Amino acid sequence: MSEYLPGLAGVPATKSNISDIDGEKGILSYRGYPIEQLTEHSSFEETTLLLLDGRLPSASELNLFDEQLKANRRVKYNIRSMMESLPASGHPMEMLQTAVASLGMFYPANDCLTSPEMCSNLDYVHNMTVKILARIPVIVTMWEHIRSGYDPEEPRYDLSFAENFLFMLNRKEPDPMLAKIFDTCLILHAEHTINASTFASLVTGSTLASPTSVIAAAIGTLSGPLHGGANEKVLDMLDEIGSPGNAKEWLDKKLDNKEKIWGLGHREYQVKDPRATILQKLTLDLMESKGNELDPMFEVAIALEEAAEERLAEKGVYPNVDFYSGILYRAMGIPIDQFTTIFAISRAAGWLAHWREQLLDNRIFRPTQVYIGEPPRDYVPLDKR
């Protein structure tokens, strides 16, 4: 194939049985299970094990995995010392990429990748997966306190994955409703076929780089505003609109100027992103629990979605996962610049599932290019130019 397709749009890069999207019907499934069923009945721990192993675990398997995650929550003091030396004004995603990349130096164990006989039972892959998944949320919450000049909170081992994150972030017992909402958000963001960051993890993994390097590469890719950073941009956009009554005029002006509307449209979906539908409901449920006090920005978002449907529905442009997630996280009291690190906490499950799948039938990625440069020519000496 020699045709150039910008962004590799529609070009299959791999085969996978981890997740699937039906963009015309708005269906997202993990290992065949619809995302709506998983968010209603499952937990992030169970969903992660489903993504990794390809099947729903038994009760004993899930309990063992949960205990392994809890046992690996502690982070060595060297990493904390390194984090303390980083500028407090830096973006949390840059901190997270740095810290995760450093994990490989403090927890080295990648001989398996170049010695197949050492890795025949996938123990190495599973153990490294557990260590990375368990430590990313701890690093994120540590940074929230370190950058403010305080000692980070120690992890607890009697709490779920979602509960422990909220406890370490807020230094208090997590509200059960907020913990359930956060757990649902983690499930929603855990996997989404071969997106940009997952593709980065595949390319890095195909070189047999260490798993911490694989995840660090994915985090760097996720940090861009066209990928994971879009939910921060959505809040800026809603603040700019100001009130529901301004939404239609604001949208018309942006469309006339051919400017980007953050949180609207997705390359895979021609209808509303199913994750956006769930996040919208979660936001409404949370606000109703607070006495029906609607966040003004939520009302702006509703008005913008209605205006966008009038103008853009025929083009298949609807809200995506970023449209409501930032509003929900802000309502939960999560700092705006930590939104994308939460995305990384969750998506690490999908990245590691794809890393494992890549290793099972590995071939290094080496795409070709369409050369548009100069034809062969002779070098001209410096004194004759």
192 catalytic? Reply is no
pLDDT at 114 over 80: no
* pLDDT per residue as tens digits for the range 208-247: 899 999 999 999 999 988 888 888 899 999 999 999 999 9
Q: 120 pLDDT band (50/70/90 cuts)?
A: low
- Burial profile 224-263: b = 16 or more Cβ within 10 angstroms, e = fewer: eeebbbbbbbbbebbeebeebeebbebbeeeeeeeeebbb
What does CATH list as the number for 16-227+347-360?
Answer: 1.10.580.10
Give the tokens for residue 338: 């930590």
- Hey, where are the domains in the chain? 16-227+347-360, 230-331
123 tagged catalytic: no
**Distance separating alpha carbons of residues 23 and 319, to the nearest angstrom:** 13
pLDDT at 295: 78
pTM, entire model: 0.93
CA distance linking residue 353 with residue 74, whole number of Å: 23
**Active-site residue (options: 183, 189, 192, 266):** 266
Residue 107 has pLDDT above 80, yes or no: no
Q: Considering 183, 189, 322, 354, which one is annotated as catalytic?
A: 322
State the pLDDT at residue 109.
Answer: 62
- Whether 10 shows a pLDDT value over 70: the answer reads yes
- Is the confidence at residue 159, as pLDDT, over 80? yes
Q: For the structural domain made of 230-331, what CATH number should be given?
A: 1.10.230.10
Residue 152 pLDDT class (50, 70, 90 cuts): very high
